[in-house]
Amino acid sequence: MPAREHRYTEIGAFEAKARLSEILRKVEQGERFTITVRGRPVAEVAPAPATGKAKPSKEQEEALQRLRNPRIKGISATEIRAAIEKGRR
């Protein structure tokens, strides 16, 4: 199966900002854009991979797991009150 041919367009940042919705519609259809600032390429806008929802990386999964199950446990309101009272003595 041959690779799908993509249109390629270079566009200035100011024009890209003004036409973002139109650019995104064209990207959905397979067109690619290089955004330039003063003629210098700074970003590329291209169609996202057609694999569906992006799978988080291993590092992202580990970070999410650490957020869901923190190793540091909180202290109770009673323990906080006791520490405050102890500090006032």
What is the set of domains in the chain, with CATH numbers?
8-47+55-88 (3.40.1620.10)
Among 51, 10, 42, 47, residue whose Cα is nearest residue 27? 47
Edge-first strand order for the sheet with 40-45 is 8-12, 32-37, 40-45
Please state, rounded to an integer, the average pLDDT across all residues of the chain.
84
Tell me the per-residue pLDDT of 1-27, one tens digit each, with 9 for 90 and over.
344 555 679 999 999 999 999 999 999
- What are the tokens at 61? 């999964």
CA distances to 4, 55, 82 from 46, rounded to whole Å, are: 13, 19, 59
Per-residue model confidence (pLDDT) at position 41: 94
Amino acid letter at 65?
Q
Q: What six digits make up the tokens of 66?
A: 């650490």
- Res. 80: pLDDT tops 90: no
